Amino acid sequence: MKFILFSLILTLGGCSYTLRSTEGHKIPTAQIQEIKLGKTTEVDLLRLLGPPFKKEGKLDGTTRLLYIYTELKSPTLPGGYVLYGLFDKEKQDIFEIILKDGVVQSHQFLKK
């Protein structure tokens, strides 16, 4: 019975979410617009975006850079009570850049 009441409070009570933690750094659209296919180098990317979360060489001679940003939010009930760990929402942005000979060939968000 308590769980049903609790569920109703969450859905009907106007619950909001409180940001608990972040990992990585969010890449602003303005920075993405500065990346030019066939021109921007890996050194340019390091200056613009910082080091990637992951860098891997591929068999076809390309290099894949992943920039990952994660947010964890917890529900907050009216009155400011935060429900840590219960019904948390995680949002993850994964930005992939493909390099060939040290120059950007493509970039895209894999998950946003």
CB atoms closer than 10 angstroms to residue 83: 16
Task: Report whether pLDDT(85) > 90.
Answer: no
Q: Identify the domain containing residue 94 by its residue range.
A: 15-111
In a domain, 54, yes or no: yes
Predicted confidence (pLDDT) per residue in 15-27, tens digit: 688 877 888 888 8
On whether residue 37 sits in a domain, the answer given is yes
The amino acid that residue 66 corresponds to is L
pTM: 0.76
What total of structural domains would you count in the chain? 1
| Residues comprising the chain, all counted | 112
pLDDT in tens, 27-73: 898 999 999 999 999 999 999 999 999 999 999 999 999 999 999 98
- Asked if residue 41 belongs to a domain, the reply is yes
Q: Give the DSSP H/E element, type plus range, for residue 68.
A: strand 62-77
CATH number at residue 35: 3.30.1450
